[in-house]
């Protein structure tokens, strides 16, 4: 039997509490009064952000990246800027030298 536990207190006393606008199951923890979804989309977003960095490295256009990932183009611009500043920090720091992980 699969027991679903609360995201915050790991208590198994959870009841379903309808759906979100996007159709995700919402739950209500009766022990800590938590209310919301148990599985967040955080992991999927992190993966997509990494994909943006990779596509930018392959010189895909910002609009192309936006079409492929489903992000807004402004979000793509922000992520690319973020990855650029990360690369700049990497080049200054000698511990990152000669470490190709892309």
When the beta carbons of 32 and 68 are compared against Zn ion, the nearer one is 32
Least distance (Å) between residue 5 CB and Zn ion: 8
Q: What residues make contact with Zn ion under the rule CB under 5 A? A: 6, 8-9, 11, 29, 31-32, 34
When the beta carbons of 29 and 79 are compared against Zn ion, the nearer one is 29
Q: In what order do the strands lie in the sheet with 14-19?
A: 14-19, 25-29, 35-37
Least distance (Å) between residue 31 CB and Zn ion: 5
Least distance (Å) between residue 46 CB and Zn ion: 24
Closest CA to 53 of 92, 83, 90: 83
When the beta carbons of 7 and 48 are compared against Zn ion, the nearer one is 7
**90 token code pair:** 């990497």
Cα–Cα distance measured from residue 19 to residue 22, given in angstroms and rounded to the nearest whole number: 8
Non-local (6+) Cβ contacts of 100 within 8 A are none
């Amino acid at each position: 039997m699969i027991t679903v536990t609360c995201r915050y207190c790991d208590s198994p006393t959870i009841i379903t509490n309808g759906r979100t606008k996007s159709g995700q199951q919402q739950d209500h923890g009766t022990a800590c009064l938590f209310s919301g979804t148990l599985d967040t989309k955080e992991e999927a977003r992190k993966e997509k952000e990494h994909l943006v960095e990779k596509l930018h490295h392959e010189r895909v256009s910002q609009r192309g990246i936006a079409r492929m990932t489903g992000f807004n183009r402004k979000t793509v611009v922000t992520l690319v800027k973020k990855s650029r500043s990360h690369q700049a920090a990497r080049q200054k720091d000698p511990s990152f030298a000669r470490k190709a992980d892309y």
